A = this chain, B = another copy of it.
Amino acid sequence: MSDNHTYQPIGVIHTQFTSLKDTPVQGVFAPESRGKVEIFEEFAAGVKDLDTFSHIILLYSFHQSSDYELVSQPMLQDEPHGIFAMRHFNRPNAIGLSVVKLEKINGNLIEISGVDILDKTPILDIKPFIPMFDNRSNASNGWVKPPHMDDIKQETVKRSKQN
């Protein structure tokens, strides 16, 4: 049960963001930020009908992550929290998740917007975002309170404009 699990990327994500510190924190606050998911040819047939969806879920490797701490202070925050109560990229298994808007598919290139992902990020999986399955309109924000949310939004807008 604690065997390792090994995955081979199905493609690579191209964006304008080349450094961690200039990458938007959350894509939902950077709707203008664009990118392309290049699916390797051997997997390209798998995108059939993906463009019937308006939004998609990307699972990818946080390829510039480094050592994690189990408990630490999130960015722009004073209180320490557990790593599984945060979205930080330095985590035990550095897998990233983003919901992005699908703009268009050209062959093996998926054009996306609302992007908070570093350039050259290896992509592991794509799933359709299905509102009935994935939205939780009644969910709470936990420790992520409005002032902290505003900080994340401002920081994201700043980063997405300077690129």
Q: A residues engaging B (CB < 8 A)?
A: 1-10, 12, 26, 28, 39-40, 43, 45-50, 52-57, 59, 61, 70-71, 80-87, 91-93, 95, 97, 99, 120, 122, 124-144, 149
Contact of A137 among B39, B87, B131 (CB under 8 A): B131
Task: State the Cβ distance, A150 to closest chain B Cβ, in Å.
Answer: 10
With CB as the reference atom, state the residue of chain B lying closest to A79.
B49
Q: What's the nearest-Cβ distance from chain B to residue A69, in Å?
A: 9
Residue from B7, B28, B84, B128 in contact with A5 in the complex, judged by beta carbons closer than 8 Å: B7
Q: List 24 A-B contacts (CB under 8 A).
A: A2-B12, A5-B8, A7-B93, A45-B82, A46-B70, A47-B84, A48-B85, A49-B81, A49-B143, A52-B142, A53-B85, A54-B136, A54-B139, A59-B59, A84-B125, A86-B127, A87-B130, A91-B125, A97-B127, A99-B134, A128-B142, A130-B139, A131-B139, A132-B141
Are A122 and B92 closer than 8 Å at their CB atoms? no
Copies of this chain, how many?
2
Give the residue among A5, A6, A124 with the most B Cβ atoms within 10 A: A5
Q: Chain B nearest CB: distance from A162 CB in Å? A: 21
Evaluate contact between A4 and B7: CB separation under 8 angstroms. Answer: yes
Most buried by B among A45, A48, A144: A48
